[in-house]
Amino acid sequence: MPLSFDIASLLGKRNAPLIGLDISASGVKLVELSLAAPEEYRLERCAIEPLPRGAVVDGNIENIEQVSEAIRRVCKKSGTRAKLAALGLPPASVITKKIILPAGLSEEELEIQVETEANQYIPFALDEVSLDFDVIGPVANSPEDVEVLLAASRKEKVEDRVAVAEAAGLKAIVMDIESYAARAAIERVNALSRQDGASRITALFQIGAQVTHVSALLNGQVLYEREQPFGGNQLTQDIVRSYGLSQEEAEARKKSGDLPDDYQTELLEPFLENAALEVTRAIQFFFTSTPYTRIDQIFLAGGCAAMPGLVDIVASRTEVNTSVVSPFKGMQLGQDVREKQLRLDAPGYLVACGLAMRRFDK
């Protein structure tokens, strides 16, 4: 069984230079990390390159040439010389399932068992999917068994991302799941502040162009996940309609704030209210669908996270400590990193950072 869909291990030379590439509807984000010391990362390079509207839709690459050209540009902009890449698939493109298997099986026996189990959970023929698995560890109350994470995606979803990397002169050696990459990055940040060993329930809101991905985590373990059809593109469309701008110009002016005087009251404030409502609603869903009744910390990530006023309104509406997450917290910065620009862009790099961390998988 060819395991081209790798969520478990890096192939190739150990710790060879590797870039994390996050391909989303709004653009391509690149992160390259190195180790300054054991367990201490240095951010060597990062860059963002926007994508034309329609190049990526609902996580699907619709225009391979436009996306590969954007990857070439983002590599040039960052100054990286790395040729190996870790990419991510949207959670909606991947079926994951935890299964229990007997401990002590060889790798080959595990593959056979996983393939047998996969038939029960995957609504496609196995020759149409890329399949992989990761042994999580022993089952708590059954030491003779192990818990195994099964992951499967339609082959064309994986192959499209491999193809855009190759067209840009890169070799994709890891295909992760975007939500897993984000969790790896957020857990590193959480660990920096979890000095007292106390358990904290963290809610992570990744606000993308069209979709907000919600995760609730307890000490790195996922308690709850969902996606909500809300994103920064709604504000962009409001700007397009109100001021007669093109999509590209509206997006640029949204970031720079170069808009008419009534923008704040007529468009921005209603959007922020709507965003806070979406966060509040998601937290209520979490409370009603799990045994948990508290959130200790809200982290906002994604391109919209640093929008002025968003943190304050979310904190006010939810009455939960809220902050914009920087995946690079506690990292050294390489000489090619512009610190001022990084402060603005950091929340959008969460997935790319998690992907870049795969370079150092043990």
Give the Cα separation of 328 and 336 in Å (integer): 15
3 pLDDT more than 50: no
For residue 196, what pLDDT is reported?
Answer: 57
For residue 134, what pLDDT is reported?
Answer: 86
For residue 337, what pLDDT is reported?
Answer: 92
DSSP state of 157: H
Would the pTM of this model clear 0.85, i.e. be above it? yes
Band (14; pLDDT cuts 50, 70, 90): low
The answer to whether residues 333 and 339 touch, using CB atoms and an 8 Å cutoff, is yes
Q: How many CB atoms sit inside 10 A of residue 102's CB?
A: 12
Using CB atoms within 10 A of its CB, is residue 12 exposed (0-12), middle (13-18) or buried (19+)? exposed
**Mean pLDDT of the chain, nearest integer:** 90
Percent with pLDDT over 90 in the chain: 65
3-state secondary structure 25-53: CCEEEEEEEEEEECCEEEEEEEEEEECCC
Going by C-alpha positions, the residue among 26, 58, 45 that lies closest to residue 160 is 58
**DSSP of 288-322, one letter per residue?**
HHSS-----EEEEESTTTT-TTHHHHHHHHH-S-E
pLDDT tens digits for 72-90?
A: 999 999 999 999 999 999 9
29-33, 134-138, 259-263: least confident range: 134-138
For residue 72, what pLDDT is reported?
Answer: 98
195 pLDDT more than 70: no
Going by C-alpha positions, the residue among 229, 170, 182 that lies closest to residue 25 is 229
Sheet bearing 171-177, strands edge to edge: 171-177, 84-89, 18-23, 27-37, 40-50, 332-333
5 pLDDT more than 70: no
The answer to whether residues 162 and 174 touch, using CB atoms and an 8 Å cutoff, is no
Name every residue whose Cβ is closer than 8 Å to that of residue 108 and which is 6 or more positions away in sequence: none
Q: How many CB atoms sit inside 10 A of residue 266's CB?
A: 13
Name every residue whose Cβ is closer than 8 Å to that of residue 330 and which is 6 or more positions away in sequence: 189, 192
Task: Provide the token pair at 142.
Answer: 């059954």
Q: Which amino acid is at 211?
A: V
358 pLDDT more than 90: yes
For residue 194, what pLDDT is reported?
Answer: 63
264 pLDDT more than 90: yes
pLDDT tens digits for 278-312?
A: 999 999 999 999 999 999 999 999 988 989 999 99
338 pLDDT more than 50: yes
For domain 18-186+330-360, give the CATH superfamily: ATPase, nucleotide binding domain (3.30.420.40)
For residue 37, what pLDDT is reported?
Answer: 86
Q: How many CB atoms sit inside 10 A of residue 15's CB?
A: 12
Q: Which amino acid is at 23?
A: I
Task: Tell me what the mean pLDDT of segment 164-179 comes to.
Answer: 95
13 pLDDT more than 90: no
Task: Tell me what the mean pLDDT of segment 159-187 comes to.
Answer: 94
Give the Cα separation of 41 and 332 in Å (integer): 7
The answer to whether residues 182 and 357 touch, using CB atoms and an 8 Å cutoff, is no
The residue with tokens 């240095």 is: 42
Looking at the domain covering 195-324, what would its CATH class be? alpha beta
Domain boundaries, the chain: 18-186+330-360, 195-324
DSSP state of 194: -
Task: Provide the token pair at 130.
Answer: 């890329």
For residue 273, what pLDDT is reported?
Answer: 96
Band (4; pLDDT cuts 50, 70, 90): very low
CA distances (Å), 247 to each of 1, 60, 226, 274, in order?
A: 45, 20, 28, 21
Task: Tell me what the mean pLDDT of segment 101-113 comes to.
Answer: 89
Give the Cα separation of 57 and 294 in Å (integer): 35
For residue 217, what pLDDT is reported?
Answer: 93
6 pLDDT more than 70: no
Band (315; pLDDT cuts 50, 70, 90): very high
